[in-house]
């Protein structure tokens, strides 16, 4: 009867959306590094920690208002306690453990073992309780019991909680943890050194009335101060034997310091690329809009150089580390990832719909471009894909793979050859306009219906007359280009005027076009 | 003399497209290849190619074409060889119209120094087009249609004749938009002749015989102004 009730409750919770939604919300807030609002929560918690430490320091020599102590001892502790409980709840799913046990028993034709499910739940929760971070969390709540004066010192455990909220501190821990074995060896070596030197100095100095090293504690204190090359000088050996021990310890101390330094430096050196990669992924994730360029070829380099004028960030995905390095040397944001792999996009957590303006496929082979296009199309149908086509025979395949726009350099050169041979000046004019090599450019101006009168009036204005050419207006509704439009021509919202003029003059035209009131 | 025959050096994907595009434009189109592989590839495509080397022996060219009316496309796959080919041709034929392909801007400068009349920097061209499609898609489509497709709109360059009504007029006196339904894009002053200047610069240019005007407009209107320039009353 109880088992049935437990299983039913577990299934209910597992499928109850408000419950699952709240669980996801708290998971995002506490654990998901990519959740956009997590940083505010982290900043809030760090603020509480610093406030707590400030109150502790201030309370040493000053009488504090009662409200401050109440806030420190109860409010902050309560917040930390709630956080602890939330993490305890999120660490493992009880309903899932019960359901898994139930389904397993059902499959094996056995009665549901509630005790086994409880055991699994208990094991999982204890795993959390005894994890170092959870223990720090628990100790940080201790100041709640402020009546025990000693427990006030547990406020300092709150400082350790900073590791939870500050990413750089977490990174430091992860770097150092990669050298666990070396650090452990160093600790053991240092402890042996301290033990041996403490005993030796105690034996040499303790019975000498002129020596200040009289107890074993004095000996240990002296050893630690000496081995770490601090040497306060409050305790010094006076016997010959003691001084010989001191010399040995000083030399060993340098070895300890060098060993420790080399461990930290090598850990950072080894993880440097990983850290850089992580930072880059973070910066990609923070982008609200971008062009995604797949493949870093010479053409890609040239395209990116031109696109930079648009001030939209560009992210490059390239498998070849040498090319990635080359891109980075040029100050570009390049990631060493295979653009044809689904894993890449799940790892980068790219939101195609909201972050990516367009994907430009510039691999040096049609095969790679098609493969990448198919991968991206599996993730989204809405993004616009641009690709270079290397062999005209593959044109249809590229379209089948979901490309929206294809550029074939061979065909372009062929078509240009025709025009360049027949009308070299005309070709030069159009090429110069498009390449934006001079101050005169060809540009698009998006129009609105209420701009009609202003648009034609501006064209007649002395500032623009003779110096501002409107090639035509493209009607987005009719999908027709109206060359050399007559002032009677109607303008609809979204119509696009194609103009040729000086860059500055086009900007001025745009400004005046959008300005209200008289010209 | 206006070119009426063309020679294409090299047989690769670019040359194939050039052959495809200009075949109908010139009376005589010849393909010259440097190695056996290209020779066989051309043969497979049904094109009779001639062999050449990078020495200064251009007898086959002179034998096959009227050099005065010849346009040459230097389209070898290797930029260094293409530069050498360009400089070799220029050294032998002063007045030959040479169009050269270059992989990038660096090679483009070398081709120009070697004597090419026009250079097509492939990477820059492709990058420009991709950039335009991304940033100005409508403009790109319109200009593409005007330049390369059989659309009603077209572009034309006309040289002002002595007998042309345009000869001696000031640019600001003429209203091409209103009177001809044409847009004047640029003008080449034959006195300066180094390069063109855009009409939208607003200079009140004095038009002389020999100047070149570049217009965009409907084909029939372009033909009309061409005839008018030739002294035919429209």
The DSSP output letter for B190 is T
- Answer whether B77 touches A (CB < 8 Å): no
Is residue B142 included in any domain, yes or no?
A: no
Q: Are residues B92 and B156 in the same domain?
A: no
**What pLDDT is stored for residue B183 in this prediction?**
92
Asked if A306 and B129 come within 8 Å (Cβ–Cβ), the reply is no
Inter-chain CB proximity B127 and A422 less than 8 Å: no
Same fold, A180-273 and A439-514: no
Residue B103 lies in a domain: yes
Task: List the CATH number of the domain containing B153.
Answer: 3.30.70.1450
Check CB contact of B16 with chain A, cutoff 8 Å: yes
Residue B134: which of A302, A386, A469 has the nearest Cβ? A386
> What residues contact residue B217 under an 8 Å CB cut-off, 6+ apart?
A483, A484, B153, B154, B156, B180, B181, B182, B183, B225
Range of the domain at B99: 5-127
Determine the pLDDT at residue A366.
94
Number of domains in chain B: 2
What's the CATH superfamily of A288-411? NAD(P)-binding Rossmann-like Domain (3.40.50.720)
Q: Which of 415-434 (A) contact B at CB < 8 A?
A: 415-431, 433-434
Residue in A298, A419, A444 closest to B139 by CB: A444
Q: Is it the case that residue B28 has pLDDT exceeding 90?
A: no
Is pLDDT above 80 for B213? yes
Strands A496-502 and A480-483: unpaired
- CATH number of the domain at B39, please: 3.40.50.720
Q: Could you confirm whether domain A180-273 is CATH 1.10.287.70?
A: yes
B77 in the same domain as B41: yes
pLDDT band at A60 (very low <50, low <70, confident <90, very high): confident
Q: Do B118 and A428 touch (CB under 8 A)?
A: yes
Does residue B122 share a domain with residue B22? Answer: yes
User: pLDDT digit string (tens) for B171-200?
Assistant: 888 888 888 899 999 988 877 656 788 888
Residue A517: predicted pLDDT: 62
Tell me if chain B has a CB within 8 Å of the CB of A469. Answer: yes
pLDDT tens, A370-422? Answer: 999 999 999 999 999 999 999 888 999 999 999 999 999 999 889 888 888 78
Residue bearing the bigger pLDDT, B215 or A516 = B215
**E strands in B5-142:** 5-9, 28-33, 49-51, 70-74, 97-102, 118-121
Is residue B110 located within the same domain as residue B33?
yes
Residue among A416, A421, A426 minimizing CB distance to B125: A416
> Could you give the percent of chain A with pLDDT greater than 90?
38
- Specify the CATH superfamily of domain A439-514: Regulator of K+ conductance, C-terminal domain (3.30.70.1450)
The pTM assigned to this predicted structure is: 0.69
Asked if B95 and B157 sit in the same domain, the reply is no
Indicate whether B140 belongs to any domain. no
Helix, strand, or coil (residue A113) = coil
Q: Is the pLDDT reported for residue B20 higher than 70?
A: yes
Among residues B95, B78, B89, the alpha carbon closest in space to that of B55 is found at B89
Residues B106 and B24 in one domain: yes
CB contact under 8 A, A410 and B16: yes
Residues B182 and B111 in one domain: no
B144 contacts: CB under 8 Å, gap ≥ 6: none
Would residue B136 count as lying in a domain?
no
- Structural contact between residues A394 and A370, judged by C-beta atoms closer than 8 angstroms: yes
**CA separation for the pair B184, B202 (Å, rounded):** 11
Residue ranges covered by each domain of chain A: 2-165, 180-273, 288-411, 439-514
**pLDDT tens, residue by residue, A306-320:** 888 778 899 999 999
Contact B188, B159 (CB under 8 A): no
- Per-residue pLDDT tens for A426-454? 888 888 888 777 888 889 999 887 888 88
> Per-residue confidence at B63, pLDDT binned at 50, 70, 90?
confident
Residue after which a domain boundary falls, among B127, B161, B186: B127
Residues B119 and B151 in one domain: no
Q: How many residues does chain A have?
A: 519
Residue A73: is its pLDDT beyond 70? yes
**CA–CA dist B22, B18 (Å, integer):** 6
Confidence grade of residue A25 (pLDDT, cut at 50, 70, 90): very high
Q: Are residues B160 and B107 in the same domain?
A: no
A143 confidence band (pLDDT: 50, 70, 90) = low
Please name the residue ranges forming H helices in A228-355: 240-286, 298-307, 321-329, 342-348, 352-355
Same-domain check for residues B99 and B151: no
B65 assigned to some structural domain: yes
Residue that finishes a domain, picked among B127, B159, B180? B127
pLDDT digits (tens, 9 = 90+) for A466-502: 888 899 999 988 888 999 998 888 888 889 999 999 9
């Amino acid at each position: 009867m109880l088992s049935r009730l437990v299983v039913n409750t577990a299934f209910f919770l597992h499928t109850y959306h408000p419950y699952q939604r709240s669980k996801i919300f708290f998971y995002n807030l506490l654990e998901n590094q990519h959740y956009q609002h997590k940083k505010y929560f982290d900043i809030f918690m760090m603020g509480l920690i610093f406030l707590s430490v400030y109150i502790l320091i201030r309370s040493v020599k000053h009488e504090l208002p009662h409200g401050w102590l109440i806030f420190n001892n109860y409010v902050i502790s309560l917040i930390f306690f709630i956080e602890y409980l939330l993490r305890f709840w999120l660490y493992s799913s009880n309903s899932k453990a019960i359901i898994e046990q139930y389904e397993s028993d059902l499959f094996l034709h056995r009665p549901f073992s509630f005790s086994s499910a409880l055991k699994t739940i208990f094991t999982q929760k204890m795993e959390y309780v005894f994890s170092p971070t959870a223990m720090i969390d628990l100790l940080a709540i201790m100041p709640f019991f402020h009546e025990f004066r000693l427990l006030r010192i547990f406020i300092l455990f709150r400082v350790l909680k900073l590791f939870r909220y500050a990413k750089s501190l977490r990174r430091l821990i992860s770097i150092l943890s990669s050298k666990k074995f070396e650090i452990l060896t160093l600790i053991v070596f240092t402890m042996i050194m301290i033990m041996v030197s403490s005993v030796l100095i105690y034996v040499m100095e303790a019975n000498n009335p002129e020596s200040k090293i009289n107890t074993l504690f004095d000996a240990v204190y002296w050893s630690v101060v000496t081995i770490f090359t601090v040497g306060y000088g409050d305790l010094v050996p006076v016997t010959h034997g003691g001084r010989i021990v001191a010399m040995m310890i000083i030399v060993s101390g340098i070895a300890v310091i060098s060993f420790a330094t080399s461990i930290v430096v090598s850990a950072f050196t080894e993880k440097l690329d990983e850290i850089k990669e992580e930072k880059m992924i973070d910066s990609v994730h923070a982008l609200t809009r971008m062009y995604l360029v797949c493949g870093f070829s010479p053409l890609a380099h040239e395209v990116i150089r031109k696109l930079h004028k648009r001030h939209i960030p560009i992210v490059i995905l390239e498998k070849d580390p040498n090319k990635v390095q080359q891109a980075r040397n040029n100050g570009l944001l390049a990631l060493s990832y295979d653009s044809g792999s689904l894993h890449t996009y799940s790892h980068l957590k790219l939101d195609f719909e909201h972050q990516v303006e367009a994907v430009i496929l510039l691999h040096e082979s049609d095969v790679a471009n098609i493969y990448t296009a198919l991968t991206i199309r599996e993730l989204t149908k809405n993004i616009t894909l641009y690709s270079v086509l290397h062999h005209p025979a593959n044109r249809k395949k590229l379209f089948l793979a979901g490309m929206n726009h294809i550029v074939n350099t061979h065909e372009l050169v062929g078509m240009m050859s025709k025009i360049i041979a027949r009308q070299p000046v005309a070709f030069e004019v159009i090429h110069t306009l498009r390449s934006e090599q001079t101050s005169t450019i060809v540009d698009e101006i998006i129009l609105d219906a209420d701009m009609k009168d202003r648009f034609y009036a501006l064209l007649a204005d002395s500032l623009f007359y003779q110096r501002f050419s409107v090639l035509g207006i493209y009607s987005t509704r009719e999908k027709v280009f109206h060359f050399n439009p007559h002032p009677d021509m109607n303008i609809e919202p979204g119509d696009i005027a194609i103009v040729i003029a000086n860059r500055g003059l086009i900007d001025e035209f745009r400004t005046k076009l959008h300005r209200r009131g008289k010209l | 003399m206006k070119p009426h025959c063309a020679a294409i050096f090299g047989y690769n994907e670019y040359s194939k497209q050039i052959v495809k595009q200009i075949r109908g434009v010139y009376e005589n189109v010849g393909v010259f290849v440097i190695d056996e592989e290209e020779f066989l590839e051309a043969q497979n495509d049904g094109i009779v190619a001639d062999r050449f080397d990078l020495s200064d022996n251009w007898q086959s060219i002179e034998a096959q074409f009227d050099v005065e009316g010849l346009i040459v496309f230097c389209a070898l796959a290797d930029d260094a060889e293409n530069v050498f080919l360009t400089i070799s041709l220029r050294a032998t034929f002063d007045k030959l119209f040479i169009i050269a392909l270059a992989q990038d801007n660096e090679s483009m400068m070398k081709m120009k120094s070697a004597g090419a009349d026009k250079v097509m920097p492939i990477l820059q061209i492709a990058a420009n087009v991709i950039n335009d499609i991304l940033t100005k898609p409508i403009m790109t489509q319109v200009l593409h249609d005007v330049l390369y497709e059989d659309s009603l709109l077209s572009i034309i360059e006309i040289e002002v004749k002595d007998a042309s009504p345009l000869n001696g007029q000031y640019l600001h006196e003429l209203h091409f938009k209103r009177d001809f339904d044409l847009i004047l894009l640029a003008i080449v002053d034959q006195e300066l002749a180094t390069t063109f200047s855009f009409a939208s610069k607003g200079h009140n240019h004095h038009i002389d015989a020999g100047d070149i005007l570049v217009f965009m407009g409907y084909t029939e209107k372009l033909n009309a102004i061409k005839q008018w320039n030739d002294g035919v009353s429209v």
